[in-house]
Amino acid sequence: MSLAHAPSLRRYPLLETVWASTSLAFVSGLLDAWTFGQVGTFATVQSGNLISLGYLTAGGNVGRALLAASSVLVFALGAFVCSILILWLSRRGRSYSAPILFGEAVFVVVLAALSISRVVEPMWIAWAISFLAGVQGNAFHREAGMLYGNIAVTSVIQMAASLLGRAVGKRIADDGERHMRPAGAYLAVLFAFAVGGGGGGFLLNLGWEGWSLAGAAVVLAALWTCAVRGRGAIDPAQNAPTP
């Protein structure tokens, strides 16, 4: 069930709230800022890597085309590994959000240190970030509640515009649902991603290479703290629609 058709006062699990979605979108933007700035690939927006793959192959730039393709494969590997981890924790009756967020935060801190020290080739760090993005995407990427926290930019823009259209056209046909509030939530997620990847992340890395990763680690650590201290439902519903 999409957000547009969800009850307006529905109580989502902690990691399916709007603030959590915007935080994860901000992290995604920060990760993309590093990978795109350093090696020209995307960490989370895999459609961009696929377009780059076709464009670079047609232009004869096989090396960069293979880098884009490898980013897609590593992202998929991260999603695969995360699925196994979630099933393993579920079988033992344990929550998965806190361990995944903690692992992400630690992993990103290590990658930030490697980036700043420049002891590892950038492409290796980019692959590690894409793997991490796959993990985050599989754990927290949802349509209902999560608002595409990882983020699917096209879907976010489409849903926001569609909901705004329904609000404006209410007198033509009213479906009885609220539209402005969920549209605003989608726009907030989009804005968070744009701030992280479109501006903030690049500006941070201009000051010191790796600062966008450090910023992502701080946000992930804050989310982990909330997940550990939170009461009630924490994990996103794994049976929720996933695009």
Q: Name the residue range of residue 105's domain.
A: 3-40+75-229
- Rg of the chain taking only CA atoms, in angstroms: 18
Residue 48 in domain: no
Please write the tens of the pLDDT for every residue from 29-86. 999 999 998 998 988 888 888 888 888 888 888 888 899 999 999 999 999 999 999 9
Share of the chain above pLDDT 90, in %: 42
- Has residue 242 been placed in a domain? no
pTM (global) more than 0.85: yes
**Overall number of domains in the chain:** 1
Predicted local distance difference test score (pLDDT) of residue 89: 92
Q: What is the pLDDT of residue 155?
A: 85
pLDDT at 61: 86
- Please check the confidence at residue 10 and state whether its pLDDT lies above 50: no
The CATH number of whichever domain residue 158 belongs to comes to: 1.20.1250
| Most confident option among 51-55, 74-78, 167-171, 177-181 | 74-78
For residue range 114-146, list pLDDT tens digits in order: 998 888 999 999 999 999 999 999 898 877 777
Whether 93 is covered by a domain: the verdict is yes
| Confidence (pLDDT) at 192 | 93
Q: Is the pLDDT of residue 166 over 90?
A: no
Rounded CA gap, 84 and 89, in Å? 9
Most confident stretch, 23-37, 138-152, 153-167, 196-210: 23-37
For residue 149, being part of any structural domain is answered with: yes
CA distance 120 to 110: 11
4 pLDDT higher than 90: no
Q: Which amino acid is at 239?
A: N
C-beta neighbour count of 220 within 10 angstroms: 26
Cα–Cα distance measured from residue 235 to residue 18, given in angstroms and rounded to the nearest whole number: 14
Are the beta carbons of 65 and 53 closer than 8 angstroms? yes
pLDDT of residue 224: 96
Whole-number pLDDT of residue 238: 63
> Averaged over 157-182, what is the pLDDT?
84
Residue 81 lies in a domain: yes
pLDDT value of residue 225? 96
For residue 59, being part of any structural domain is answered with: no
Q: Is it the case that residue 110 has pLDDT exceeding 90?
A: yes
* Sign, CA torsion 181/198/125/218: negative
Residue 129 lies in a domain: yes
